[in-house]
Protein backbone atom coordinates (compact mmCIF):
# COMPACT_ATOMS: atom_id res chain seq x y z
CA UNK A 1 0.00 0.00 0.00
CA UNK A 2 2.82 2.38 0.92
CA UNK A 3 4.60 1.67 -2.38
CA UNK A 4 1.41 2.36 -4.30
CA UNK A 5 0.92 5.75 -2.58
CA UNK A 6 4.49 6.78 -3.42
CA UNK A 7 3.95 5.75 -7.06
CA UNK A 8 0.68 7.73 -7.17
CA UNK A 9 2.32 10.88 -5.79
CA UNK A 10 5.21 10.68 -8.25
CA UNK A 11 2.85 10.12 -11.20
CA UNK A 12 0.70 13.10 -10.22
CA UNK A 13 3.78 15.29 -9.89
CA UNK A 14 5.09 14.28 -13.32
CA UNK A 15 1.73 14.93 -14.95
CA UNK A 16 1.60 18.35 -13.32
CA UNK A 17 5.10 19.20 -14.58
CA UNK A 18 4.12 18.49 -18.17
CA UNK A 19 1.80 21.52 -18.09
CA UNK A 20 4.53 23.85 -16.84
CA UNK A 21 7.10 25.76 -18.91
CA UNK A 22 10.43 23.98 -19.25
CA UNK A 23 12.68 27.06 -19.23
CA UNK A 24 15.62 27.29 -16.84
CA UNK A 25 13.95 30.24 -15.14
CA UNK A 26 10.37 29.07 -15.07
CA UNK A 27 9.02 32.35 -13.72
CA UNK A 28 10.71 34.94 -15.92
CA UNK A 29 11.87 33.41 -19.20
CA UNK A 30 9.91 31.38 -21.77
CA UNK A 31 10.28 30.27 -25.38
CA UNK A 32 7.60 30.15 -28.07
CA UNK A 33 8.17 27.90 -31.10
CA UNK A 34 5.77 26.84 -33.85
CA UNK A 35 7.39 23.40 -34.08
CA UNK A 36 6.77 22.54 -30.43
CA UNK A 37 10.43 22.78 -29.38
CA UNK A 38 9.73 25.58 -26.91
CA UNK A 39 7.50 26.05 -23.90
CA UNK A 40 4.54 27.20 -26.01
CA UNK A 41 3.47 27.11 -29.65
CA UNK A 42 1.42 30.34 -29.35
CA UNK A 43 2.61 33.80 -28.28
CA UNK A 44 -0.71 34.55 -26.61
CA UNK A 45 -0.56 31.31 -24.62
CA UNK A 46 2.82 32.37 -23.23
CA UNK A 47 1.51 35.81 -22.27
CA UNK A 48 -1.57 34.30 -20.65
CA UNK A 49 0.67 32.16 -18.45
CA UNK A 50 2.87 34.99 -17.15
CA UNK A 51 2.59 36.46 -13.67
CA UNK A 52 0.32 39.43 -13.20
CA UNK A 53 2.15 42.58 -12.03
CA UNK A 54 5.59 40.93 -11.74
CA UNK A 55 8.46 42.54 -9.86
CA UNK A 56 10.97 41.69 -12.60
CA UNK A 57 10.94 41.74 -16.39
CA UNK A 58 9.49 38.63 -18.04
CA UNK A 59 11.15 37.65 -21.32
CA UNK A 60 9.37 35.64 -24.01
CA UNK A 61 11.71 34.46 -26.77
CA UNK A 62 9.93 33.80 -30.07
CA UNK A 63 11.54 31.44 -32.57
CA UNK A 64 11.32 31.98 -36.31
CA UNK A 65 7.96 31.31 -37.92
CA UNK A 66 4.70 32.93 -38.95
CA UNK A 67 2.34 33.30 -35.99
CA UNK A 68 -1.13 33.94 -37.37
CA UNK A 69 -2.79 35.24 -34.21
CA UNK A 70 -4.03 38.37 -32.50
CA UNK A 71 -1.72 39.04 -29.57
CA UNK A 72 -2.52 41.15 -26.53
CA UNK A 73 -0.31 42.12 -23.61
CA UNK A 74 -2.85 43.04 -20.98
CA UNK A 75 -2.73 45.90 -18.48
CA UNK A 76 -2.07 43.37 -15.71
CA UNK A 77 0.96 42.03 -17.62
CA UNK A 78 3.49 44.87 -17.37
CA UNK A 79 7.23 44.25 -17.80
CA UNK A 80 6.80 41.80 -20.67
CA UNK A 81 9.57 41.56 -23.23
CA UNK A 82 8.92 39.91 -26.61
CA UNK A 83 12.09 39.09 -28.54
CA UNK A 84 12.01 37.52 -31.98
CA UNK A 85 14.77 35.26 -33.26
CA UNK A 86 15.04 37.20 -36.53
CA UNK A 87 13.00 40.26 -37.48
CA UNK A 88 12.47 39.20 -41.12
CA UNK A 89 11.45 35.64 -40.29
CA UNK A 90 9.69 36.00 -36.95
CA UNK A 91 6.29 37.31 -37.98
CA UNK A 92 3.07 38.07 -36.10
CA UNK A 93 0.29 38.40 -38.64
CA UNK A 94 -3.46 38.98 -38.63
CA UNK A 95 -6.05 40.57 -40.94
CA UNK A 96 -8.78 42.34 -38.99
CA UNK A 97 -10.07 45.61 -40.45
CA UNK A 98 -12.76 48.20 -39.66
CA UNK A 99 -15.59 46.98 -41.88
CA UNK A 100 -14.65 43.34 -41.48
CA UNK A 101 -15.19 43.27 -37.71
CA UNK A 102 -18.14 45.73 -37.81
CA UNK A 103 -18.14 46.74 -34.14
CA UNK A 104 -19.43 50.26 -34.63
CA UNK A 105 -17.76 53.62 -35.08
CA UNK A 106 -14.76 52.66 -32.93
CA UNK A 107 -14.01 49.44 -34.79
CA UNK A 108 -10.51 50.67 -35.69
CA UNK A 109 -9.28 50.09 -32.15
CA UNK A 110 -10.28 46.43 -32.24
CA UNK A 111 -8.30 45.60 -35.38
CA UNK A 112 -4.73 45.46 -34.06
CA UNK A 113 -2.53 42.44 -34.65
CA UNK A 114 -0.40 43.17 -31.56
CA UNK A 115 -1.86 45.27 -28.75
CA UNK A 116 0.28 46.35 -25.79
CA UNK A 117 -1.64 47.64 -22.78
CA UNK A 118 0.98 46.82 -20.12
CA UNK A 119 3.55 49.37 -18.95
CA UNK A 120 7.31 48.88 -19.22
CA UNK A 121 7.15 46.48 -22.16
CA UNK A 122 9.91 45.86 -24.71
CA UNK A 123 9.35 44.54 -28.25
CA UNK A 124 12.35 43.56 -30.39
CA UNK A 125 13.29 41.72 -33.61
CA UNK A 126 9.76 41.08 -34.89
CA UNK A 127 7.70 41.69 -37.99
CA UNK A 128 4.22 42.84 -37.00
CA UNK A 129 1.71 42.87 -39.85
CA UNK A 130 -1.89 43.62 -40.58
CA UNK A 131 -2.49 41.80 -43.85
CA UNK A 132 -6.08 42.95 -44.49
CA UNK A 133 -4.85 44.98 -47.46
CA UNK A 134 -5.89 48.44 -48.59
CA UNK A 135 -9.41 48.18 -47.18
CA UNK A 136 -9.52 51.06 -44.72
CA UNK A 137 -8.49 51.22 -41.07
CA UNK A 138 -6.49 48.17 -40.04
CA UNK A 139 -4.00 48.47 -37.16
CA UNK A 140 -0.85 46.35 -37.00
CA UNK A 141 0.59 47.59 -33.68
CA UNK A 142 -1.37 49.30 -30.91
CA UNK A 143 0.45 50.75 -27.89
CA UNK A 144 -1.64 52.07 -25.02
CA UNK A 145 0.79 51.36 -22.18
CA UNK A 146 3.44 53.69 -20.77
CA UNK A 147 7.22 53.36 -21.17
CA UNK A 148 7.18 50.99 -24.14
CA UNK A 149 10.21 50.45 -26.36
CA UNK A 150 9.99 48.93 -29.85
CA UNK A 151 13.37 48.15 -31.38
CA UNK A 152 14.56 46.70 -34.69
CA UNK A 153 11.05 45.76 -35.80
CA UNK A 154 9.25 45.76 -39.15
CA UNK A 155 5.71 47.10 -38.83
CA UNK A 156 3.58 46.69 -41.94
CA UNK A 157 0.08 47.74 -42.91
CA UNK A 158 -1.86 50.32 -44.86
CA UNK A 159 -4.19 52.83 -43.17
CA UNK A 160 -3.61 53.28 -39.41
CA UNK A 161 -0.63 50.92 -39.15
CA UNK A 162 0.63 52.12 -35.74
CA UNK A 163 -1.60 53.45 -32.97
CA UNK A 164 0.18 55.16 -30.06
CA UNK A 165 -2.03 56.22 -27.18
CA UNK A 166 -2.37 56.93 -23.49
CA UNK A 167 -2.51 60.54 -22.29
CA UNK A 168 0.99 61.48 -21.17
CA UNK A 169 2.36 58.03 -22.03
CA UNK A 170 5.87 57.75 -23.44
CA UNK A 171 6.83 55.33 -26.22
CA UNK A 172 10.11 54.88 -28.07
CA UNK A 173 10.73 53.35 -31.50
CA UNK A 174 14.37 52.60 -32.30
CA UNK A 175 15.69 51.45 -35.71
CA UNK A 176 12.29 50.29 -36.98
CA UNK A 177 10.75 50.10 -40.45
CA UNK A 178 7.16 51.39 -40.52
CA UNK A 179 5.02 51.43 -43.65
CA UNK A 180 1.50 52.49 -44.51
CA UNK A 181 -0.82 54.61 -46.60
CA UNK A 182 -3.02 57.08 -44.68
CA UNK A 183 -2.44 58.37 -41.13
CA UNK A 184 -0.30 55.31 -40.57
CA UNK A 185 1.17 56.69 -37.36
CA UNK A 186 -1.62 58.12 -35.20
CA UNK A 187 -2.63 58.78 -31.61
CA UNK A 188 -2.15 60.91 -28.50
CA UNK A 189 0.98 59.47 -26.84
CA UNK A 190 4.37 61.14 -26.77
CA UNK A 191 6.37 58.95 -29.14
CA UNK A 192 9.94 59.24 -30.41
CA UNK A 193 10.97 57.57 -33.67
CA UNK A 194 14.76 57.32 -33.63
CA UNK A 195 16.68 56.13 -36.68
CA UNK A 196 13.57 54.66 -38.29
CA UNK A 197 12.57 54.27 -41.92
CA UNK A 198 9.09 55.66 -42.53
CA UNK A 199 7.71 54.34 -45.82
CA UNK A 200 4.65 55.71 -47.63
CA UNK A 201 2.72 53.38 -49.94
CA UNK A 202 0.36 56.00 -51.35
CA UNK A 203 -0.20 59.73 -51.74
CA UNK A 204 -1.56 60.62 -48.32
CA UNK A 205 -0.52 61.58 -44.77
CA UNK A 206 2.16 60.02 -42.56
CA UNK A 207 0.99 61.16 -39.12
CA UNK A 208 -2.30 62.05 -37.47
CA UNK A 209 -1.44 63.12 -33.95
CA UNK A 210 -4.09 63.82 -31.33
CA UNK A 211 -1.79 65.28 -28.68
CA UNK A 212 -3.71 66.63 -25.67
CA UNK A 213 -3.44 70.39 -25.24
CA UNK A 214 -1.39 70.29 -22.02
CA UNK A 215 1.13 67.66 -23.19
CA UNK A 216 4.39 69.30 -24.42
CA UNK A 217 5.46 66.67 -26.96
CA UNK A 218 3.56 64.58 -29.47
CA UNK A 219 5.51 62.83 -32.24
CA UNK A 220 9.25 63.46 -32.59
CA UNK A 221 11.17 61.92 -35.49
CA UNK A 222 14.95 61.97 -35.08
CA UNK A 223 17.46 60.86 -37.75
CA UNK A 224 14.75 59.10 -39.75
CA UNK A 225 14.52 58.34 -43.49
CA UNK A 226 11.24 59.10 -45.26
CA UNK A 227 10.85 56.85 -48.30
CA UNK A 228 8.01 55.85 -50.62
CA UNK A 229 6.89 53.50 -53.39
CA UNK A 230 7.93 54.64 -56.87
CA UNK A 231 4.51 55.95 -57.90
CA UNK A 232 4.03 58.06 -54.76
CA UNK A 233 4.48 61.81 -55.30
CA UNK A 234 2.33 63.69 -52.77
CA UNK A 235 2.87 62.85 -49.11
CA UNK A 236 2.20 65.20 -46.20
CA UNK A 237 4.22 64.90 -42.99
CA UNK A 238 1.07 65.18 -40.93
CA UNK A 239 -2.43 66.42 -40.31
CA UNK A 240 -4.17 67.06 -36.99
CA UNK A 241 -6.50 64.27 -35.84
CA UNK A 242 -7.16 66.66 -32.98
CA UNK A 243 -6.40 70.37 -33.11
CA UNK A 244 -3.55 70.38 -30.56
CA UNK A 245 -1.46 67.91 -32.57
CA UNK A 246 2.31 68.21 -32.15
CA UNK A 247 4.77 66.66 -34.62
CA UNK A 248 8.44 67.50 -35.15
CA UNK A 249 11.03 66.14 -37.60
CA UNK A 250 14.70 66.55 -36.59
CA UNK A 251 17.64 65.71 -38.87
CA UNK A 252 15.44 63.63 -41.15
CA UNK A 253 16.10 62.70 -44.78
CA UNK A 254 12.99 63.39 -46.83
CA UNK A 255 12.41 61.88 -50.26
CA UNK A 256 10.93 63.73 -53.22
CA UNK A 257 7.46 62.40 -52.33
CA UNK A 258 7.11 64.98 -49.54
CA UNK A 259 4.65 67.70 -50.58
CA UNK A 260 6.28 71.17 -50.63
CA UNK A 261 3.73 72.43 -48.09
CA UNK A 262 4.49 69.41 -45.84
CA UNK A 263 1.51 69.88 -43.51
CA UNK A 264 -2.28 69.78 -43.93
CA UNK A 265 -4.90 71.25 -41.58
CA UNK A 266 -7.58 68.56 -42.25
CA UNK A 267 -9.98 71.44 -42.93
CA UNK A 268 -9.56 72.64 -39.35
CA UNK A 269 -8.34 76.24 -39.64
CA UNK A 270 -8.20 76.56 -35.86
CA UNK A 271 -5.28 74.12 -35.96
CA UNK A 272 -3.16 76.86 -37.55
CA UNK A 273 -2.72 78.39 -34.09
CA UNK A 274 -3.33 75.39 -31.84
CA UNK A 275 -1.21 72.67 -33.48
CA UNK A 276 2.60 72.65 -33.50
CA UNK A 277 4.31 71.31 -36.61
CA UNK A 278 8.04 71.83 -37.03
CA UNK A 279 11.28 70.72 -38.68
CA UNK A 280 14.98 71.07 -38.02
CA UNK A 281 17.79 70.42 -40.47
CA UNK A 282 15.77 68.37 -42.95
CA UNK A 283 17.71 66.96 -45.90
CA UNK A 284 16.92 65.27 -49.21
CA UNK A 285 14.78 66.16 -52.23
CA UNK A 286 11.70 66.79 -50.07
CA UNK A 287 13.43 69.09 -47.59
CA UNK A 288 13.01 72.45 -49.34
CA UNK A 289 11.16 74.57 -46.77
CA UNK A 290 10.48 77.63 -48.90
CA UNK A 291 6.91 76.53 -49.64
CA UNK A 292 5.99 75.09 -46.26
CA UNK A 293 2.65 76.23 -44.83
CA UNK A 294 3.07 79.53 -43.02
CA UNK A 295 1.74 78.14 -39.75
CA UNK A 296 4.52 75.52 -39.44
CA UNK A 297 7.89 76.18 -37.81
CA UNK A 298 11.59 75.82 -38.57
CA UNK A 299 13.50 75.18 -35.34
CA UNK A 300 16.98 76.50 -34.56
CA UNK A 301 19.99 75.06 -32.73
CA UNK A 302 18.92 76.56 -29.42
CA UNK A 303 15.44 74.99 -29.68
CA UNK A 304 16.98 71.56 -30.23
CA UNK A 305 19.55 71.83 -27.45
CA UNK A 306 17.07 73.08 -24.86
CA UNK A 307 13.98 71.06 -25.68
CA UNK A 308 14.59 67.98 -27.81
CA UNK A 309 16.97 65.61 -26.05
CA UNK A 310 15.59 62.11 -25.47
CA UNK A 311 15.70 62.71 -21.73
CA UNK A 312 13.70 65.93 -22.03
CA UNK A 313 11.05 64.29 -24.21
CA UNK A 314 10.73 60.89 -22.54
CA UNK A 315 11.51 61.28 -18.83
CA UNK A 316 8.75 62.17 -16.36
CA UNK A 317 10.42 61.47 -13.02
CA UNK A 318 13.48 59.97 -11.37
CA UNK A 319 11.64 56.65 -11.25
CA UNK A 320 11.60 56.61 -15.06
CA UNK A 321 15.30 57.29 -15.57
CA UNK A 322 16.62 55.89 -18.84
CA UNK A 323 13.86 53.29 -19.35
CA UNK A 324 14.23 53.87 -23.08
CA UNK A 325 17.82 52.53 -22.93
CA UNK A 326 16.65 49.07 -21.82
CA UNK A 327 18.66 46.35 -23.55
CA UNK A 328 17.95 42.67 -24.03
CA UNK A 329 20.52 39.89 -23.83
CA UNK A 330 19.93 39.15 -27.55
- What are the pLDDT digits (tens) for 43-69? 999 999 999 999 999 999 999 999 999
**Residue 54 belongs to a domain:** no
**Residue 131 belongs to a domain:** yes
**Residue 6 belongs to a domain:** no
CATH number at 308 reads 2.160.20.10
Catalytic residue of the set 183, 203, 229, 303: 183
Digit-coded pLDDT (tens) for 81-111: 999 999 999 999 999 999 999 999 999 999 9
**Residue 38 belongs to a domain:** no
Let me know: does 176 contact 153? Beta carbons within 8 Å. yes
Pairing of strands 80-84, 58-62: parallel
Whether residue 275 has pLDDT greater than 90:
yes
* 183 is a catalytic site residue: yes
Global pTM reads: 0.91
Percent of the chain with pLDDT over 70: 90
**Residue 322 belongs to a domain:** no
Q: Which long-range contacts link 24-31 to residues 24+ away (Cβ below 8 Å)? A: 27/51, 27/54, 27/58, 28/54, 28/56, 28/57, 28/58, 28/59, 29/58, 29/59, 29/60, 29/61, 30/58, 30/59, 30/60, 30/61, 31/60, 31/61, 31/62, 31/63
Catalytic residue of the set 35, 160, 265, 322: 160
Digit-coded pLDDT (tens) for 284-294: 999 999 999 99
**Residue 136 belongs to a domain:** yes
pLDDT at res. 24: 40
- What total number of domains does the chain contain? 1
Which structural domain, as residue segments, surrounds residue 200?
60-317
Digit-coded pLDDT (tens) for 127-173: 999 999 999 999 999 999 999 999 999 999 999 999 999 999 999 99
Lowest mean pLDDT, pick from 6-15, 51-60, 206-215: 6-15
Whether residue 9 has pLDDT greater than 60:
no
* Contacts with 239 (C-beta within 8 Å, 6 or more apart), sequence order: 183, 205, 207, 208, 245, 263, 264, 265, 266
Amino acid sequence: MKTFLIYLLLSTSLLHCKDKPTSVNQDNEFTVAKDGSGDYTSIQAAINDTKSFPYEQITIHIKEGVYHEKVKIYEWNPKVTLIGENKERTIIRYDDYFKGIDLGRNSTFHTSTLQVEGNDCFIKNLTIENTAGNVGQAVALSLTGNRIKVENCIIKGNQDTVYTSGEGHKQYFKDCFIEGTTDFIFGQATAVFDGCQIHSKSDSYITAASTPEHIPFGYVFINCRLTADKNVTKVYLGRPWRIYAKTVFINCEMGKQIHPEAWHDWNKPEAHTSAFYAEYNSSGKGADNTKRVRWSHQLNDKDIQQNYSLKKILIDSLADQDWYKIKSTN
